[in-house]
Structure 1
Amino acid sequence: MPQSPWLPIPEKSDFSIYNLPYGVFSTPTRRPRVGVAIGEQIIDMAALTARGKFHDLKIPLQVFEQPSLNAFMSLGKPVWKAVRQRLIQWICEENSPLHQLQEESMLPQSDAKMLLPVQVGDYTDFYASEEHATNVGSMFRGKENALMPNWKHMPIAYHGRASSIIVSGTPIHRPKGQLMPTGADRPVFGASQKLDFELEMAAVIGVSSELGTSVTTEEAENYIFGMALFNDWSARDIQKWEYVPLGPFLGKNFASSLSPWIVPMEALKPFVTEGPKQQPEPLPYLQKANPRNYNIHLEVYLQPAMQEEVQICRTNFKHMYWSIQQQLAHHTINGCNLRVGDLLASGTISGSQPDSYGSMLELSWNGERRLQLGEASRTFLEDGDTIRMYAYAEQDHKRIGFGEVKTKILPPL
């Protein structure tokens, strides 16, 4: 890949030439449209298309003049790759159309408002980290019964609520619902006292599949457009009372936060790595021939009101037991169809060390220990707290970042 862009890109930039993530933005003079991040700039894809620069690729003019990436993603993988290759070429050629049209086709990221990048039709949340599942199981069932009998045979998941997925920067209100106080014989109504974050990655589906067909682990990457950071908020006390027998509902569906930038799968290829050894061997439809995990560093910061933020978690996506390809294969093995814009979230990503746990539930061990944050301390999240998640991959002088997911917690309505 070329190494010498004409555009100044800060060292250690999340948005290097190896990345080129997609998002949706607006400004006071530009309606919502598709953009690509490079350095501290955004490439206005609609402006370039209006000048006929993608005419030979047969990309309709209106594809990039949309408030979501869905229309572009639906064009398929060959178009994604062709556009990416063209942008890389233009960023490295002094006399490229991008350079010549720089004034009208590029703008500082600081001048743009980032919007939810995809129109999400369906959202599925997996439970794919063995460390997280073991931690949660140990808390509530004991170490001997930490993992349920089915956990190592298939990627466990539930269907979430797409309507409450919000973009980074959108605050959330503390949810209310039924709670069962310790020692009580009947529930009470009130605001959650155990509000929590969940550090996750989300796969964005870019190609639909037919109802009644299945997608194999080998075919999965043809359906995934890219990956994004994801915070799947949880109200642990609401969830604890409601989840038997049908699983999460009001304890989860009040909000999930998505990063504004979607990193293409093509950009993740240099960071493919082996995942954990799977024992017992999965059934044939879940087996994979090649390494499919990704070496992505993940960090979580908590900022109490009127204080500096403190890093509370540092972990890596490569530790996930079930890969995103296996998740997709399992999701469709019964003939369930995928649609453009669907999200498949990984579930909470936790490592083996206490500072690598991806939720307050684990960091505080369900409230048994307080997490020290300078002058403040926490077991769960309080009103006025801000959670910021950050992710990047770096290897062989190549660095790509996912931006951040940042959300402030407001009092209940």
Structure 2
Amino acid sequence: MIIEPKVREFICTTAHPEGCRENVKQQIAYVKAQNIKKGPKKVLVIGASTGYGLASRITAGFGCEAATIGIFFEKPSNGKRTATPGWYNTAAFEEEAHKAGIYAKSINGDAFSCEIKEKTIDLIKKDWGKADMVIYSLAAPRRTDKNGNLWVSSLKTTKEAFTEKSLDLRNNTIVEKTVEPAKPEEIQGTKKVMGGEDWMEWIEALKDADVIEENALTVAYSYIGPELTYPIYFDGTIGQAKRHLENTAKVMREKFPKLQAYVSVNKALVTQASAAIPIVPLYFAILYKVMKEVGNHEGCIEQISRLFKEKLFKESVPTDAEGRIRMDDWELSEEVQRKVVEAWKQVTTENVTEISDIEGYWEDFYQMFGFHLAGVDYTKDVDMEVKIPSIDL
């Protein structure tokens, strides 16, 4: 059938298999041109099908020639609806990896569950023996923990209500959005879903099963952002969860002294998770314009390949005073942020297309779902039902 994008505010309910394939192939081509050389050989990526997780799997596989196991929760096509983009991305990644003689297997299911952890451990035992790198890149709205408790995350402040300009994605207009303060249980829920508890449970499970190298590297991804978004992000419920994530890395290093555990603070990029946060999409659109003009804009694959090439595998990993790897250094530079704040003060519905890179924002949004990729004929019939080679349905 002919597949077209069906967008509802910050989500697209369709995905294009050939567009997703082209997106993956373009990322692979970029990574192969980077000549990364040094890196891991057996990499577990938890949250491997879109955004930073997918970019990490591609960088490990095609930049370092590493074997990868990817964990994710995606839906295949049911014959009436398309699969999710992460399903198509993974199918394309596995096919390209196998053609290149690179090991790639995937597990589809709830990464928070004991069942998926056990399934992953069994696969590592059978095929690898031990992993030497674990990337944690999960973004989820809710989590059922190992005791059966359901936790739900919230996008709220932790102080007073916060009102600021925002981009209405339905019609590209500038509106005001108010974000309400969270209740204590909402802060706790957000920490449980987006903090470091599950990351620690993964590492402990891998350690207990003896399927991770003693001096393995593990990296979880985070975001801080500028002062402009502090009330909703850094000082909000998400920020509380990210602090918990950072503290978890410190606890890991204390518990497993030879383990290299880091949080990488990454750049602002359009992802399925970030598109849902009030105020943030307008900041992203302005930031895109500024960084493209300055000449240091990066997408997911550029960011992660730089992380692998310039940060992770040095004799001494460069970190800030808190022990975090700062991949947001270009975003938070004085020059970039000064220009962003100037534009923020001026932006209105009438000038938003001139002051921000709203077109670039939407291009990234559509490309997440396999649309707007050069070289893809979207007028052609395509088969929605695509198989991931390592997954039996």
Give the alignment's TM-score, normalised by structure 2: 0.31
Higher strand share: 1
Q: Kindly name which structure, 1 or 2, has the bigger radius of gyration based on alpha carbons.
A: 1
Give the alignment's TM-score, normalised by structure 1: 0.30
Q: Which has the higher contact order (CA 8 A, sep 6+)?
A: 2
Higher helix share: 2
